[in-house]
Amino acid sequence: MSVEIYFKILANEIHSVVVATLNKGLPTTRVIDIMLYDKNGIYFLTAKGKAFYEHLKTNPYISLSGLTSGSDSMQRKSITISGYTKDIGSQKLEEIFKKNPYMADIYPSKESRMALNVFHLYKGQGEYFDLSTKPITRTNFVFGGEELKKSGYFITENCKACGKCKEKCPQSCIEIGKIYKINQEQCLHCGNCYEICPNEAIVKLI
């Protein structure tokens, strides 16, 4: 999937996400709507009077998570992104109000909208996690020039193909071979393989 598809799911399907910022070194969260997306990232807005705005101006790095709807956890998909935002002022404000007509109920007049600034999340890394597939599906992605950091569990050449890791894997995502291999897109990162390996053949990059 191209990265834009994750932005589209965030803006059009999930829409309301939980965003974390730092407040004097401590994490703080609140619910924020993803108003727009394009190939360069996603856009949200806030009012200049809010604590959220102050946090963004002090430290523009955020982390957000959102969930698709579904009758229970096994029907849901999540998207998490950590990355850099920039304040783009009133740019795209009109477009946001056109695409999200409910905003006119909250900020009815042009004057009241003057409190609002738009933020662009333009560079970051993310994870798409789907519990509705069996085994689970996990995909990592980057955008805006961010480098993809390798993360997860990896079997090295020290593997003696003893099979202990495969027995303990809850998602059956370890492939047999001369050296066993973890299917990264199906791995839960539970760490069972790492714990059981008698040859210290598994590296943990978490």
Ligand X SMILES: Cc1cc2nc3c(=O)[nH]c(=O)nc-3n(C[C@H](O)[C@H](O)[C@H](O)COP(=O)(O)O)c2cc1C
Q: What is the binding site for ligand X (CB under 6 A)?
A: 16, 28, 30-33, 44-47, 50-52
Closest approach of ligand X to the CB of residue 34, in Å: 8
Q: Identify whether the C-beta of residue 148 lies closer than 8 Å to the C-beta of residue 154.
A: no
Closest approach of ligand X to the CB of residue 92, in Å: 13
> Between 90 and 156, whose beta carbon lies closer to ligand X?
90
> Between 31 and 206, whose beta carbon lies closer to ligand X?
31
Rounded to whole angstroms, how far apart are CA atoms 139 and 149? Answer: 13
> Between 52 and 153, whose beta carbon lies closer to ligand X?
52
Closest approach of ligand X to the CB of residue 37, in Å: 14
Rounded to whole angstroms, how far apart are CA atoms 102 and 176? Answer: 53
> Between 56 and 197, whose beta carbon lies closer to ligand X?
56
Closest approach of ligand X to the CB of residue 23, in Å: 8
